[in-house]
Amino acid sequence: MIFGADPETIEGLKYAGFDVVSLANNHFGDQGVAGMNFTLSHLNKNEIEFIGAGESEVKAREPKIIERNGVKFAFLGYNDTKSAIRKGYAATSEKPGVAVLT
Identify whether 47 is part of a domain.
yes
Question: CA of 31: how far to CAs of 7, 17, 65, 76, 93, in Å?
Answer: 13, 26, 28, 23, 20
Please state the pTM of the whole predicted model: 0.87
Q: Which residue, 6, 95, 15, 1, is CA-closest to 56?
A: 95
For residue range 48-70, list pLDDT tens digits in order. 999 999 999 999 999 999 999 99
Q: How far is 18 from 82, CA to CA, in rounded Å? A: 29
Identify whether 49 is part of a domain.
yes
Q: Which of 5-9, 20-24, 59-63 has the lowest mean pLDDT?
A: 5-9
Q: How many independent structural domains does the chain possess?
A: 1
Identify whether 9 is part of a domain.
no
Identify whether 75 is part of a domain.
yes
Identify whether 8 is part of a domain.
no
Can you give the pLDDT at residue 1?
63
Q: How far is 16 from 67, CA to CA, in rounded Å? A: 18
Identify whether 17 is part of a domain.
no
Judged by DSSP in three states, 49 sits in strand
Identify whether 6 is part of a domain.
no
Can you give the pLDDT at residue 68?
94
